């Protein structure tokens, strides 16, 4: 089996897409910009007026200021600054304060702008800042943090919109050893990073929490990682109906999120409730939804959380070296890639655990592994009623492709069902690997179209425990070979590994 990983070719993928009911969404991606290392400054469409209803008005303790920068210099711990109209930024915050946008019938959206010339807000160490109901836009930095820069501090954004900010790293926010919380209807969109990671947010040694309906969408990084979030030794927790969607990396990895950590500490991306990472793209890279790798990196999906409709060259949903746990009715579904449509999972002693009614479903790849591609000393354990359903590939392993040492253990009422392969193993292709089936687990309703045998399980130089054709591997079909519950159609040895 070829290990070649190339750019997704939508024309040939159309064949595989037709094998699975339903359409696979894929965000449109613009062409990469021409070569050059200059960070473009945004064109401000919210320049500060000199008169009229939208003239800047900043108040602190009954005193008016002509800019946010002047007010923050006068503020002390516990103060609240109110912003009305469109105000210049370049503010430096050195205290624990609250900044609140005030909107009236004539003032429009309260806005702090960098006017394409500088960063709107910088938060110095030791500060704890809350920003509410404000637009932060048109910021620019030739280094880090186009909209907000913070280190050794904390910021909470509640009902804040950050848009059209630009930087080399962290288009909207750059955080170092800090805490970032996105609450309410906070929206980070159309921010850009150039040549270094983090189209929306770069977080180093930090924690990021998204709550409520906060959203990070349509951000982009050019020539580096992480269209949405770049997490360097940092944790991300998504709660409620928070969402990371339609972000793009051009020329590298992690369309939605990238987490990297090599300091032997533990770091986690956690999705709870109805949180989603969807419609992101790693253009000419790995991990459309998430790219994760390091010494002890974890991804946890709870409740109804989902990673869906992401696109990459490999690992449409997820790619890298990480432990993955899926609980509740969480899903990885409708992702698309050249190889490993749902997720790629390869490394040393890595664990993938599916519990409850978790699903990996309707993912598509052109190369092997429609649902999952497992390599190395990795272990997939399926418990409860968890299932790998209706994935498709033009290669081998419609549901799961296993190679070079992994183990799959199916317990309870786990299922690998309804998957399709153009090559061997409609359900699973097991090459130099171990498959164990316990309890009422089944491999059923899978099919392949290009070979005569192995519509359920195709294996080579592997160990099969408790895997019995016509008992727990049954009802799999090979349209070009034996039809029906023929033993060789359900479980077949091949000699290609």
Share of the chain above pLDDT 70, in %: 87
Number of compact structural domains in the chain: 1
| pLDDT range class, residue 105, cuts 50, 70, 90 | confident
Structure tokens at 213: 């309906």
Tokens 């998430």 map to which residue? 290
Structure tokens at 299: 């991804």
pLDDT at position 390 is: 98
Is residue 337 situated within a structural domain? yes
Is residue 348 situated within a structural domain? yes
pLDDT at position 107 is: 86
CA angle 403, 408, 414 (to 5 degrees): 140
* Alpha carbons 95 and 78: distance in angstroms, whole number: 8
Is residue 260 situated within a structural domain? no
Is residue 454 situated within a structural domain? yes
pLDDT at position 479 is: 76
Is residue 18 situated within a structural domain? no
30 contacts: CB under 8 Å, gap ≥ 6: none
Cα 393 from chain centre: 22
Is residue 283 situated within a structural domain? no
* Terminal Cα-to-Cα distance of the chain (whole angstroms): 7
pLDDT at position 222 is: 85
pLDDT above 80 for 102: yes
Answer whether 459's CB lies under 8 Å from 421's CB: no
Of 441, 288, 425, nearest to 370 (Cα)?
425
* Alpha carbons 478 and 492: distance in angstroms, whole number: 12
Instruction: Decide which of 38 and 265 is more confident.
Output: 265
Q: Name the β-bridge partners of 132.
A: 100, 158
pLDDT at position 325 is: 98
Structure tokens at 385: 């009623």
Domain that holds residue 400: 322-497
Is residue 305 situated within a structural domain? no
Of 271, 261, 362, nearest to 321 (Cα)?
261
* Alpha carbons 478 and 421: distance in angstroms, whole number: 10
pLDDT above 90 for 489: no
pLDDT above 70 for 463: yes
Is residue 396 situated within a structural domain? yes
Report yes or no on whether pTM surpasses 0.85: yes
């Amino acid at each position: 089996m070829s290990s070649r990983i190339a750019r997704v070719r939508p024309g040939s993928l159309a064949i595989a897409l037709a094998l699975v009911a339903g359409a696979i969404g894929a965000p449109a991606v613009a062409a990469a910009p021409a070569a050059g290392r200059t960070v473009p400054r945004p064109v401000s469409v919210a320049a500060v007026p000199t008169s009229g209803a939208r003239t800047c008005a900043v108040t602190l303790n009954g005193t008016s200021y002509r800019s946010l920068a002047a007010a923050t210099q006068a503020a002390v711990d516990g103060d609240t600054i109110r912003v009305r109209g469109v105000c210049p930024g370049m503010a430096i915050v050195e205290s624990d304060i609250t900044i609140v946008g005030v909107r009236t019938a004539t003032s429009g959206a309260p806005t702090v702008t960098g006017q394409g010339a500088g960063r709107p807000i910088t938060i110095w160490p030791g500060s704890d800042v809350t920003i509410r109901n404000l637009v932060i836009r048109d910021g620019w930095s030739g280094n880090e943090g186009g909209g907000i820069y913070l280190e050794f501090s904390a910021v909470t954004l509640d009902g804040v919109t950050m848009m059209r900010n630009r930087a080399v790293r962290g288009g909207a926010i750059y955080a170092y050893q800090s805490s970032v919380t996105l609450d309410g209807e906070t929206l980070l969109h159309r921010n850009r990073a150039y040549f270094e990671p983090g189209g929306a947010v770069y977080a180093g040694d930090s924690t990021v929490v998204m709550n409520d309906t906060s959203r990070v969408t349509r951000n982009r990084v050019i020539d580096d990682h992480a269209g949405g979030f770049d997490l360097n030794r940092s944790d991300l927790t998504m709660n409620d109906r928070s969402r990371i969607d339609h972000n793009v990396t051009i020329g590298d990895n992690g369309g939605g999120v990238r987490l990297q950590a090599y300091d032997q500490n533990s770091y986690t991306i956690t999705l709870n409730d109805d949180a989603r990472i969807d419609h992101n793209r790693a253009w000419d890279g790995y991990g459309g939804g998430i790219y994760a790798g390091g010494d002890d990196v974890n991804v946890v999906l709870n409740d109804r959380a989902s990673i869906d409709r992401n696109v990459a060259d490999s690992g449409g949903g997820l790619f890298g070296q990480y432990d993955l746990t899926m609980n509740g009715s969480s899903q990885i579904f409708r992702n698309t890639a050249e190889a490993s449509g749902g997720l790629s999972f390869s490394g040393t002693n890595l664990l993938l655990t599916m519990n409850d009614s978790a699903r990996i479903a309707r993912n598509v790849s052109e190369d092997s592994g429609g649902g999952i591609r497992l390599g190395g000393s990795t272990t997939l354990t399926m418990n409860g009623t968890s299932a790998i359903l209706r994935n498709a590939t033009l290669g081998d392993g419609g549901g799961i492709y296993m190679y070079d040492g992994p183990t799959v253990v199916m317990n309870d009422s786990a299922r690998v069902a309804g998957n399709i392969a153009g090559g061997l193993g409609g359900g699973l292709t097991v090459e130099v690997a171990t498959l164990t089936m316990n309890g009422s687990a089944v491999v059923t309703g899978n099919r392949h179209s290009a070979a005569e045998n192995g519509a359920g399980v195709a294996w080579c130089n592997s160990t099969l425990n408790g895997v019995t054709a016509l008992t727990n591997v049954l009802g799999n079909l090979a349209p070009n070979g034996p039809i029906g519950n023929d033993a060789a159609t359900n479980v077949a040895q091949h000699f290609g590994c």
